[in-house]
Structure 1
Amino acid sequence: MFDISVNLTNKQFKKDISTVINRAIKNKVNGMLIISCNLKDSLNAYNITKKYKNYCWSTVGIHPHYANLWENNSINKIEKLLKYKNIVAIGECGLDFYRNFSSQKKQLLAFNTQLELAASYSVPIYLHCRNAFSFFFKILKFWNYKISKIIIHCFSGNKYELEKCLDMNMSIGLSELFFNKKYRIGSINDVELIPKEKLLIGTDSPFLLFKEMYFKIYKKFKGRNEPSLLPNLLKKIVSLREETYSILDIQTEKNAFNIFNLN
C-alpha cells in the first residue's frame, strides 16, 4: 500500500523520522507522499525525499491556510522546485472556507494560479476542499480538461460532491476523516461509489488519529497518527466494498504509482 498524505515535515516528526519510516515499511507501506503546505515546507519535504529515495516523494504548493503568503514571486519558486525529480505534484492547494485562515480572495488567487501551473507543466494537482465545493467546482470546470491528473485528498463530502468529483475524473483520496461521523457530510456507504481505479488512501499523519475511534492505538502512539497505521484505514474500506484486502492493497498502491508517475 502507499500513503498519499504524510505531513512528515510537521514538528511532531522532528526527532524520529527514520523510526516512523522503518515502522511503515514493517507494516507493508511501500511508499509515501510528503505533502507540503507552503514553500518553506515544500523545500523541507524535498530534502527528506533525498534521504529516502524511491520510498518518499513530495509535493510543492501553498495550502489555502497559507494563501495569505502568496506573492508574485511564488510562481517562480514553485517552478524552480518542480524541476526536482522527487517532487511529483503541485499541492496541497485548494479552498477552505471552514477555517478561513486566509482571505477567500487570496485563496482563490493561489488556487487558480497553481492550477494554471499544473496545466502548464503537465503535473498532477493535489487538492484540498472544505466548505467550499460550489466555488471549487466552478473553478475546476475551466481547468478540468487541461490538467491530466487531479487528486482530492481527505475527501469527506456528500454523495453529490463525490459524484461531481468523479465526473471530473478526479482520483479520490480517503482518510480516517471519511469514517468519522463528527466530520463527514455523506454516508460511509458512499465509498462503494468510488471505482477501484480511482481510489487512494492516506493517513494525513500526524493528524486524524481519532481518540474515540482508536482509543488503545491513540494511547500507544500518544495521539500522533503515522503511516504504519494505514492498514487500519484499508480494513475499514474493505469492510464496505466487495473487493478483498489484498486486491485493494495492490490496487490503491498501483493507482498512486500511476498518478504520480513513480514507475
Structure 2
Amino acid sequence: MHLIDIGLNLTHDSFDHDRDQVWQRARDAGVAQAILTGASREHSPLALELARTRPGEWFATAGVHPHHASDYTAECDAEMRALHAHPEVVAVGETGLDYFRDFSPRPAQRKAFERQLEIAADTGKPLFLHQRDAHADFVAIMKDFEGRIGPAVVHCFTGTREELFDCLDRDWHIGITGWLCDERRGQHLRAIVKNIPANRLMVETDAPYLLPRTLRPMPKDRRNEPMFLPHIVEELARDRGEDVAVTAANATATTRAFFRLPGAS
C-alpha cells in the first residue's frame, strides 16, 4: 500500500524525541506521504517548517482550530496569510466549529471560521475542516461562501448518517480516522462509511490522538502513530465490503487530486 495520512499532528511534543523514527516506521508500513496539521498560531508555522525538511513527503496545513479561536486577531490573520504564500502549505485549516468543548466562545469560533474561509476564497486552496456538535451553524456558514471556495474535507468525521449525507450533498470530502475502531463511540460509523463515494473518501490517523482501539497488541505508551494508518484502512475496507487494496488505492488517488500532491518517491 502507498497511503497518505491527511491528518498528522507531527508538531505535537510527544514526537519531539523520535520524529524521524516515527516517520521511518510509517514508511515501512506503507505510508508514503502526510499532511501535517497546523491548528494554531504556534503550530501552523512549525508544520510548515517540518514540511520543508522532507519535500515531496510532508506537506502542511495552516489554520486556527476552533479551540483557539479567541486567538484569531488581525495579526493572526496576517500570519496565516503569510504562511499560505508557501507552496508546501496545501490547505486552509484546521478550522471550523466545536460546540462540544467550547474552549473558545461560540461567536469567536464563528468569526475565526469566517476569516479563514475568506483566506480559502482568496487563495483557492482547499479546506481542512473540523466540526463537532455544531453541524447546523457549520453548514450555514459554509453556505454563505458557496461559489467562492474550492474543495473541502471534513476531517475526522464522527457525525450521524444525516450529517454525512448533508456533507456529501455539498460535494465535501470525508476524512476517516481510528474513531471508526472505537466500540464506545464509533459503531455508527461502521454502518455508514460504505455510503461515501470512493472519490470523496480519505484516511488519516490524527496522531498522536485517536489510537485505534482494535490494535493488537496495543502500544504501551498509547500514542497513535502514522504507521497505524494501514490498520484503519483494513477496518474501513471491511466495513465498505471492499478489498483493502481497492480502498487504499482509491483513498490515495482522491487525496492526491484534492491536495494537488505529486506522486510519492
TM-score > 0.5, shorter chain as reference: yes
- The count of aligned residue pairs is 260
SS in 2 for 1:2: strand
Are the equivalent residues in 1 in contact too, given 2:181–2:214 (CA < 8 A)?
Answer: no
Closer, same or farther: CA 185–167 of 1 in aligned 2, 3 Å: farther
Distance 1:63 1:109 in 2: 12
- Alignment gaps of 5+ in structure 2: none
Q: CA deviation at 1:218?
A: 3.0
Counterpart residue number, 2:248: 249
| Comparing 4-13 and 33-42, the one that deviates more | 33-42
- Alignment gaps of 5+ in structure 1: none
Are the equivalent residues in 1 in contact too, given 2:193–2:236 (CA < 8 A)?
Answer: yes
Counterpart residue number, 2:223: 224
SS in 2 for 1:218: coil
| Comparing 102-111 and 144-153, the one that deviates more | 144-153
Distance 1:187 1:85 in 2: 34
Q: CA deviation at 1:185?
A: 7.9
Distance 1:250 1:172 in 2: 16
Q: Which amino acid aligns with 1:213?
A: T
Counterpart residue number, 1:27: 29
Percent pairwise identity: 30
Are the equivalent residues in 2 in contact too, given 1:58–1:86 (CA < 8 A)?
Answer: yes
Deviations 1:220-243 (A, max 9, x none): xx1000101100000001101233
Distance 1:168 1:145 in 2: 11
Closer, same or farther: CA 187–46 of 1 in aligned 2, 3 Å: closer
Distance 2:189 2:123 in 1: 36
Which TM-score applies when normalising by structure 1? Answer: 0.95
| Comparing 87-96 and 253-262, the one that deviates more | 253-262
Counterpart residue number, 1:262: 261
Q: CA deviation at 1:47?
A: 0.8
Distance 2:117 2:29 in 1: 35
Q: Which amino acid aligns with 2:135?
A: F
Distance 2:57 2:245 in 1: 21
RMSD: 1.3
Are the equivalent residues in 2 in contact too, given 1:157–1:184 (CA < 8 A)?
Answer: no
SS in 1 for 2:35: strand
Counterpart residue number, 1:14: 16
Closer, same or farther: CA 187–29 of 1 in aligned 2, 3 Å: closer
Counterpart residue number, 1:213: 214
Q: CA deviation at 1:262?
A: 1.0
Distance 1:126 1:82 in 2: 13
Please give the residue correspondences for 1:42-121 in structure 2 after superposition, counting only pairs within 5 Å: 42-121=44-123
SS in 2 for 1:73: helix
Distance 1:183 1:110 in 2: 28
1:126 to 107, 125, 128: 128
